[in-house]
Structure 1
Amino acid sequence: MKNTIPTIVTALGVSCLSASAYELHEWGTFTSVSGSDGVLLNGLHHEEERLPFFVRALDGMQNRGPGMVKGLIRPLKNVTIKMETPVIYFYSDEPFTAEVKVGFNGGSISQWYPERSAGETVPKIAKPLGFDSSLIPPFAALKSDVFKLAGGIDFSESRSGSIEWKVDVLDLKADRGLVFKPGETLNWLRPRNPKANVLKVGEQYEDYLFYRGVGNFPLPIKFTVDTNETLTISNLSSDKVPFMFVHEVTNEGVTRFHSIPNGLAASGVMKVTTSDLREHTDWHRPVYQEMFKGLTGTGLTAEESHGMIQTWWDSYFSRPGLRVFWVMPGSDTENILPLSVKPAPEKIVRTIVGRSEIIRPSMEQKMVKEFLIKDPKKSKWGQYLHDRFGHAYQQRVKQLLPKETAGK
């Protein structure tokens, strides 16, 4: 990637002119939860991984630590999608200055680093509630006047988020020690990429541009599970899904998976039975290898693929449940997360992975049974309610119960 335009280099190694040839790579995740009927469930405002204290956020949507939520002060409703850890890398032989803008159709970009130059805003909180309002289940919503005073956001209403950065892409010989910051977490370090250019935004340095968000929009793929426990995958997109990986940890702790390296054609439908899922006692290496091959097959570098898998390893693969990882078609990525960069890259690689958690009918039956047991000492309902997807589980149970029972 040689630059054919002469450059004037400052003391920081930043070109005063634009680069003519460079690559931009990005990876990230959309997380969703659906019932066996394929309908997306809400309540996905919980954080799964703590962010460092230096990460910026929209007012009232700061990350406060493990187990806390995106809307710590600001109440949120009808969040069906978590957009987690998109990171953007630059690869250039020459230093230059770039302007980056990312939109989010159907959601808000709630957290980011380095500091943005522009972006969406949220209404001011007229009257803070004094407690963690986002822990209130979305179906037991605050009264509308209180919700409004507390600056609440209802994501069932149309929303278009955005963020902009002005970035100095430094010379490849720039001191990589510049990116160090006290308070970095393990999952902040794992995406670090020694082959990418160090980025300078204002007086902040990092290997990548980071952002996160929450939203509510239909996905281009749907998952349903019938009473025979057969998973049906329907590609609703006009483009091919490049790669899919079905993974499950049973309640007994057994790991089983099924790789679909060729993905699913546009408008295609595929069925995965329980017998298609191979059980493994020593599953870590084969799961890692299959995911690595799938991600590099989309154009990510080895370093980027390692970073993504390792960042989300525990959340992806160590916890009970059925989930499908699938790479979003490029046209859908651009529709949901439109990206504009000046000067334009010679090549762009964007790998956004859908992480779809699906509740099996057998699990739904267990949750309903436990929910109906009134004695908390005998019921296991609490383990579902306090799960990272507890609000979604409770919404699904309410859907399955008779109306006269669900309202009690």
Structure 2
Amino acid sequence: MTVALLILAVVVVVTVIKTSGWNSAKVVPAASGLIVHEWGTFTSIAGKDGVALEWRPLNGASDLPKFVYTIQNHDEGLRHGPKADLTAAVRMETPVLYFYSAGETDVSVKVDFPKGKITEWYPQARSVNTSIDWGRLKVMPGAAFNFPIAYSDNSRYYAARETDAAPVQVCGTNEKSVQQEKFLFYRGVGTFDLPLSVKLERQSVVLKNTSKDRTGQIILFENRRGKIGYQLIDDFPGEATYQRPTLDKTIDSLLQNLKRTLIASGLYEKEAAAMIKTWRDSWFEEGVRVFYILPRQTTDAVLPITIEPRPAELVRVLVGRAEVITPEMEKSVRAQVKLLSDPSPQVREAAAQAIREHGRFSEPILKSIFEHEGDEVIRKRIRQLIEPSTVVGAE
């Protein structure tokens, strides 16, 4: 009888393992207990010494739906309210928290950002500043979707919903309505020590690990006039110099490698796909940049998180993006700045538009030019351009 019971127990255990979804493909498990997964990205700009610059986005348009809460409350010139006036080394973008549970579960969630400030979020939170506290919310697997949609917005925000995560619902309090979403979303700006130093030296990129924690896979990427090149760095020795990549690759091959990296870091397949879909148009635009997975210890130090009850599994995958200002960028923008003094209005407007095409990176490029510019007319123009109340191209 004892042997028979033992055999029965083994069969039950094997059945649970096979149906729970715990396998190398990272399928969403059907196991009991709370599981929380987070992905996000943050952008920094590498200075000439390898240290991240403090910067503000000069004229990048908002990419969020209108229902998302934000500290900005008005447009002013080329800038978009208070967030754009916050100078910081890091712009933290779209961290989203997904929840999985076997049944409806009440949880409380708080994320601290001691060296930064939360600037956008959804659903509504109880308190927002250098932390965000959603208080108690319900994880509701199988619930009918009742998500907000702004049909007039062509926003990357919605791609993050394409997962098997359970809807979460924030209960209405203090005259606030009940709100539901597929995840908890937040953004912020801050200045903190990054684990990777990135420096351009002629046609080479110098990388150095500045943290005691090991940096995972690194991707050195370049898009030059639509031609793509990248290098996958799997066994980063801690400090090394790499040539700018040969422009003979495709985006599709890069996406396959990136997806494998995200899944290996702990994300489910649909989560990895949603992250890539969210950021594909921004990550691979014109320019040179370095992508890397933030060490988990660094993530927990920069963004301490408190979830009650404590989840059975908590995965946090933050992708760092270090933008590199190249000599080609500086040369091009400097030429356009010079044309802003042209007597022809058409020439001035075309020059202003060319500067705008650099989007939120316009200011750091202009500042980099300013540092070594000897032409006082161009220096004066740059000072005018980076003033908060100045519109590019205005006389």
Structure 1 residue 327: Cα displacement: 0.7
Counterpart among 296, 302, 307 of residue 274 in structure 2: 307
Aligned counterparts, 1:264-279, within 5 A: 264=236, 268-274=238-244, 276-279=245-248
**C-alpha deviations, 1:223-256, integer Å up to 9, x for none?**
11112x1011111111111221121111x32111
Q: Match for 1:215 among 175, 179, 190? A: 190
Aligned to 2:44: 32
Per the alignment, residue 101 of structure 1 pairs with 110
Query: 1:86 Cα shift?
Result: 0.5
Residues 293 and 75 (structure 1), Cα distance of their counterparts in 2 relative to 1, 3 Å cut: closer
Secondary structure in 2 matching 1:32? strand
Question: What do the CA deviations read for 1:164-205 (whole angstroms, capped 9, x no partner)?
Answer: 113433342211x22253446441220014411110002100
Amino acid across the alignment from 2:186: Y
Q: Aligned pair in 2 of structure 1 residues 74, 295: CA closer, same or farther (>3 Å)?
A: closer
Q: Which residue of structure 2 lines up, in the alignment, with residue 285 of structure 1?
A: 252
The verdict on how the C-alpha distance between 1:36 and 1:368 changes in structure 2, with shifts beyond 3 A counting, is farther
CA separation of 1:321 and 1:406: change in aligned 2, threshold 3 A = same
Residue 13 of structure 2: aligned partner: none
Partner of 1:230: 204
Preserved CA contact (<8 Å) 1:95 1:168:
no
Matched, 1:201 2:201: no
Structure 2 counterpart SS, 1:174: coil
Contact 2:66–2:150 (Cα < 8 Å) also in 1? no
Q: Provide the C-alpha distance between the structure 2 equivalents of 1:394 and 1:264, rounded to a whole number of angstroms.
A: 32
Match for 2:228: what amino acid?
A: T
Indicate how the Cα distance of structure 1 residues 24 and 233 shifts in structure 2: closer, same or farther if over 3 A, else same: same
Q: Structure 1 CA distance, aligned partners of 2:63 and 2:335? A: 33
How large is the Cα RMSD of the aligned pairs?
2.8
Cα distance, 1:354–1:22 mapped onto 2, change above 3 Å: same
Change (3 A) 1:47 1:404: closer
Separation in 2 of the partners of 1:76 and 1:256? 34
Query: Which structure has the greater CA radius of gyration?
Result: 2
Secondary structure of the structure 2 residue equivalent to 1:112: strand
| 3-state secondary structure, aligned to 2:160 | coil
1:63, 1:288 → 2: CA distance? 37
The letter of the residue matching 1:257 is Y
Q: Secondary structure at the match of 1:179?
A: coil
Pick one of 314, 318, 329 that aligns with 2:295: 329
Mapped partners of 2:301, 2:148: distance in 1: 34
Q: How many residues align?
A: 336
Distance 1:271 1:222, change over 3 A: same
Q: Does 1:258 align with 2:231?
A: yes
- Asked whether the equivalents of residues 226 and 361 of structure 1 are also in contact (C-alpha less than 8 Å), the reply is no
* 1:243 equivalent in structure 2: 217
Q: Counterparts of 1:167 and 1:242 in 2: how far apart (Å)?
A: 34
Tell me which amino acid in the other structure corresponds to 1:361. Answer: P
Q: Counterpart in 2 of 1:178? A: 146
Distance 1:404 1:194, change over 3 A: closer
For residues 171 and 75 of structure 1, the distance between their equivalents in structure 2, rounded to whole angstroms, comes to 36
AA aligned to 1:51 is: L
User: With structure 1 as the length reference, what TM-score do the two structures score?
Assistant: 0.74
Matched position secondary structure for 1:191: helix
User: TM-score, structure 2 length as denominator?
Assistant: 0.77
Q: Output the CA distance in 1 between the equivalents of 2:146 and 2:78.
A: 30
What SS does the aligned partner of 2:364 have?
helix
> 1:115-136 deviations in whole A, cap 9, x for unaligned?
001222xxxxxxxxxxxxxxxx
The residue that corresponds to 2:157 in the other structure is 188
Displacement after TM superposition at 1:297 (Å):
1.2
Contact 1:245 1:257 in 2 (8 A): yes
- Determine the structure 1 residue equivalent to 2:94: 85
Supply the AA of the counterpart residue of 1:301: Y
| Aligned counterparts of 1:239 and 1:258: Cα–Cα separation in 2 | 22
1:395 pairs with one of 367, 371, 393? 367
Mapping 1:93-132, distance limit 5 Å: 93-120=102-129
Q: Could you list the per-position Cα deviations for residues 324-360 of structure 1 after superposition, in whole angstroms to 9, with x for gaps in the alignment?
A: 1111111111111111111111111101111111012
- The one-letter code of the counterpart of 2:212 is S
2:146 match: secondary structure: helix
Change beyond 3 A, Cα 1:220–1:406? farther
Contact persistence 2:108–2:307 (CA under 8 A):
yes
* Deviation larger for 46-55 or 213-222: 46-55
2:99 and 2:139 in contact (8 A); partners too: no
Change in 2 beyond 3 A, CA 1:63/1:306: farther
Question: Partner amino acid for 1:103?
Answer: D
Q: Is 1:55 paired with 2:65? A: no
C-alpha separation between the residues in 2 aligned to 1:386 and 1:178?
A: 37
- For structure 2, the 5+ residue unaligned runs are 1-30, 172-177, 381-395
Displacement of 1:37: 3.4
- Residues in 2 aligned to 1:186 and 1:194: alpha-carbon distance in whole angstroms: 17
**Alignment partner, residue 166 of structure 1:** 135
CA contact (8 A) 2:32 2:101 kept: no
| Deviating more after overlay: 182-191 vs 199-208 | 182-191
